[in-house]
Amino acid sequence: MEIKLTQREEEVLLGIAKGFTSKEIARELYLSDNTIITYRKQLLSKLKAINSASLVYKAAKYGYLELEN
């Protein structure tokens, strides 16, 4: 499965995987909350996920996330 994620989408994805809220991710990346919500929606659509948990699972499965021990 070849899905292209932008660098910003990868940054948002990492924040989601770490359990951060949209507001926390926005603050970290110097973006608005609404921008992060838009990125979340794009990620859900691109990876065909139904929620944050399935998004993180699919992202790890397809190699977009490296899980730390």
Domain ranges for the chain: 7-61
Please compute, for residue 42, the number of CA atoms within 13 A of its CA located in the half-sphere on the CB side: 15
The long-range contacts involving 29-36, CB below 8 angstroms and separated by at least 24 positions, are 36/12
pLDDT at 68 over 80: no
Residue pLDDT, tens place only, 29-41:
999 999 999 999 9
Contact 25, 36 (CB under 8 A): yes
Place 67 in a pLDDT band, splitting at 50, 70 and 90.
low
Number of CB atoms found within 10 A of residue 61's CB: 11
User: What are the structure tokens assigned to 22, written together?
Assistant: 């949209």
Residue pLDDT, tens place only, 39-51:
999 999 999 999 9
Q: What is the pTM of this model?
A: 0.90
- The second-level CATH assignment, the architecture, of 7-61 is Orthogonal Bundle (1.10)
